[in-house]
Structure 1
Amino acid sequence: MAFFEDFSLYSLEFETSLGKTLIFADPHLGFEIAKGVRIRSRLEEKLANFIKSKNPDAIIILGDIKEEIGLSSFTRKILMSFFLELKDYIVIITKGNHDGRIEEVTKNFDNINVVEYYLLDDVLFFHGHKVAPPIEFKIAFLGHAHPVIYVNVKGIKKKAKCFIKAGRYVVLPTINPFYEGIETKQAIKMIPTLKEVKTVDVVIPPGIYLGQYTIDI
């Protein structure tokens, strides 16, 4: 299904001390139960297949792995299925605001570690709904805000998911293809750590730099 072929555009992959490491944000698995979608997307299966095709040594998920803030039997089943597909990889989840009770599922998997934040090779990973931890780091990756930008395509304005860079912080778009996201100037205000930021750099996949944008304070 072509709709699901762009996962790589909204994820990052690089070498760390854990080996080849795949990073993405905000999959919001099980969104059907909260959004009232009547046709099952089976997003968890497609995302797992994408991950396996990349065959990383480690996976860092920047929070909001699930849509439902609680944990219904429906969401639990989806997460169990998803995590079973990832049993051969190191998985780190930086807990997001939608990840309540996630440990009730991850406790069944020795390869999965749920943390508030993760520091690896002087690189910080966290969800973004809370202020960054007071630790030393060179660069930080986070999610939470689902940033998008309006771009002009043949005279028509269209929304495009984007990466935001604000100093040492890089905000990833949601990897969920059903979430369009939030316009950049509003998205940045959702992140407590970046609430005083006045300008950001914006990049849309596959690496097109759109320039610097001013954030209205």
Structure 2
Amino acid sequence: MGDGHRRSASGPASTPPRVEPLPGEPAATATVGSQRVLFVADYHAGYEAGLRYERGVDVPSRAPDRREQLLALLERVRPDRLVVLGDLMHSIGEPGGAERGELEVLFESFPATFAVTVVKGNHDGRIETWLTDSDDIGSDVTVVSGDGITIGDVGVCHGHTWPTPAVLESDVICLGHEHPCVRLEDEVGGSRVERAWLRGRLDPDPFRDRPEYEGVSWLEGTDGSPPGVVVFPAFNDLVGGTWINVSGQSFLSPFIPAGLAEGDAYLLDGTRLGPYESV
């Protein structure tokens, strides 16, 4: 599953970076320039502690499982950079206790010179106040605003707020926040919920009348076409999400689903389910 192609009004189609999900995993890779990049979204470290505090539900910590899953992906892919598309942690305020401990152990497991970019999500609070300054974090860590940045021709944002104009000018936009899931039913009435990918292209309608996007060439029809969009499943399999094929479900992002045209859903194993609205 790749992303869409940008077509310039003044020439033939360029070859944009391809964001390729890893089969069976809630993660994707792309080659951006000379860098191999691994993308994940919605890690939600400390989620189990949050359940105890917020709902009184006692769930054994899966922090070691999350860490080992991510480290196995790093070993398999050997990326130059890890990009977290928001909600690395779960608590909205200052990380503490089990949550901070989980993240410190995770980052201590990375090579000392390994580059990590964290796009701030709505759950990431003041994560930059300790993650980038801690003597216990050996990685090369950068924390950026949730409205996103560009990494080469790939735009990255969390999805809980409107992206920057620069992100809209990218060839493909990667975001999290939604935790898309599908509810699948079998012939005898049984059902299960599975995490899913959403992929399509950006629909210009929600963006056209917003003043901050004045000058975005494809929105004004002067050059190019809308970027591709990849909405990531949550890395953390406990957090639930938006059931994209169940009526009455509300999406979380201010520009999804209105900003997603021709959106298809895929399971983690790569199975294409077709247009997400009719799965």
- TM (norm. structure 2) is 0.68
Structure 1 residue aligned with 2:174: 141
Amino acid at match of 1:113: T
Structure 1 residue aligned with 2:26: 10
Is 1:113 matched up with 2:142?
A: yes
Question: 2 CA distance for matches of 1:112 and 1:161?
Answer: 28
Is 1:213 matched up with 2:265?
A: no
Is 1:42 matched up with 2:67?
A: no
Question: 2 CA distance for matches of 1:38 and 1:175?
Answer: 18
Is 1:93 matched up with 2:155?
A: no
> Structure 1 residues 123 and 188, CA, compared in 2 at 3 Å: closer, same or farther?
farther
Asked if the contact 2:23–2:270 (Cα under 8 Å) also holds between the matched residues in 1, the reply is no
Q: Which runs of 5+ in 2 are unaligned?
A: 1-21, 53-57, 202-227
* Structure in which a larger fraction of residues adopt strand: 1
Is 1:65 matched up with 2:88?
A: yes
- Number of aligned residues: 210
In angstroms, what is the RMSD of aligned CA positions? 2.4
Which contiguous aligned blocks of 4+ residues in structure 1 show a shift greater than 4 angstroms? 185-188
State the 1:38 CA deviation: 4.5
Asked if the contact 2:51–2:59 (Cα under 8 Å) also holds between the matched residues in 1, the reply is no
State the 1:164 CA deviation: 0.8
Higher relative contact order (CA 8 A, sep 6+): 2
State the 1:85 CA deviation: 1.4
Is 1:171 matched up with 2:239?
A: no
**Quick check: which has more Rg, 1 or 2?**
2
Equivalent residue in structure 2 for 1:79, among 84, 99, 103:
103
The SS at the match of 1:82 is helix
Q: Which runs of 5+ in 1 are unaligned?
A: 1-5
**Does 106-115 or 203-212 show the bigger shift?**
106-115
Equivalent residue in structure 1 for 2:242, among 176, 182, 187:
182
Question: 2 CA distance for matches of 1:203 and 1:9?
Answer: 12
Structure 2 residue aligned with 1:3: none
